[in-house]
């Protein structure tokens, strides 16, 4: 609860600190995730916040992202902290930009893994649909049991969103990550999001991710992930439908980097 309050307060402070001509949009979200890999499973609680400023008549936007995840599996617990941002150009028909995020994953005092991903994204808005692509690179540094290591990788993905109603979105994404040393991951994610009220912009969302994992030195495997959460939208434009908030507000999928291998 303290973290949620801190994210909300930070978003409000950023909004008040912005130039008078800038328009603010933001989200605060929380969700529960359950991951199963063969006979093993893990529970993950996530909370995140995003804030973007748009300078009117320019189409230019600057966005900041923060997030925290708590993982529990058997007797082990881990924490993931994320921070990053994006700069992008937006129009009524599309938006395109660059993004970077730093994630720190810690398990007690004996292991830590740091991910830095960077890349670009683009989204196109034909009618009641949104189509998007993203891609980039990732650098990994790890310390486990006193041993250090580094690796690199690359990622690419695609998304398609259908707004069956202005406040109901059906989304499907495919994300592929190629880590060095022969580890590959492909994630398929269908999800749905419904905004309860345009005047009180809180949405509920949920979905499923099928992850296919393969490594050159190990046998292939897969994982199943189920998630459900709430998201609160903030902006300076008053009442809006979900389709308008998602297209004119913060960038979500395009700035995310969430392969299963980066959290487990």
| Euclidean distance between CA atoms 224 and 76, whole angstroms | 20
pLDDT at residue 174 is higher than 90: yes
Give all domains of the chain, ordered by start, each with its CATH number: 2-262 (2.40.128.130)
- pLDDT of 185 higher than 70: yes
Q: How far apart are CA 172 and CA 158, in angstroms?
A: 8
Specify the pLDDT at position 200.
87
Structure pTM?
0.85
Bigger pLDDT: 26 or 17?
26
Q: Please name the residue that has the structure tokens 């809180």.
A: 202
Q: Give the DSSP letter string of 150-207.
A: EEEEEEEEEEEEEEEETTEEEEEEEEEEEETTTEEEEEEEEEEEEES-SSS-EEEEEE
Residue 141: per-residue pLDDT? 87
Residue 22 has pLDDT above 90, yes or no: no
Q: Mean pLDDT over residues 213-225, rounded?
A: 78
Higher pLDDT, 191 or 21: 191
**pLDDT greater than 60 at residue 225:** yes
């Amino acid at each position: 609860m303290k973290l949620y309050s801190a994210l909300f307060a930070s978003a409000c402070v950023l909004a008040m600190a912005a130039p008078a001509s800038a328009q603010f949009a933001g989200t605060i979200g929380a969700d529960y995730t359950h991951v199963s890999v063969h006979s093993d499973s893990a529970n993950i609680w996530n909370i995140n916040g995003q804030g973007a400023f748009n300078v009117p008549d320019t189409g230019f936007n600057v966005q900041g992202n923060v997030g925290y995840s708590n993982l529990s599996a058997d007797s082990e617990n881990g924490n993931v902290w994320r921070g990053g941002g994006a700069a992008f150009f937006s129009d009524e028909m599309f938006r395109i930009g660059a993004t970077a995020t730093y994630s720190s994953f810690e398990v007690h005092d004996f292991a830590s893994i740091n991910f830095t991903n960077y890349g670009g994204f683009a989204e196109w808005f034909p009618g009641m649909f949104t189509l998007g692509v993203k891609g980039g690179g990732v650098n990994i540094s790890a310390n486990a049991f006193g041993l250090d290591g580094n690796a690199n990788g690359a990622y690419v993905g695609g998304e398609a969103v259908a707004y069956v109603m202005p406040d109901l979105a059906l989304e499907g994404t495919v994300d592929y990550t190629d880590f060095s040393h022969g580890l590959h991951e492909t994630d398929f994610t269908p999800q749905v999001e419904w905004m309860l009220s345009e005047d009180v912009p809180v949405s509920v969302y949920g979905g499923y991710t099928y992850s296919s994992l393969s490594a050159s030195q190990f046998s292939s495997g897969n994982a199943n992930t189920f998630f459900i959460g709430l998201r609160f939208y903030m902006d300076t434009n008053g009442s809006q439908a979900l389709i308008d908030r998602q297209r004119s507000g913060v960038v979500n999928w395009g700035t995310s980097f969430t392969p299963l291998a980066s959290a487990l």
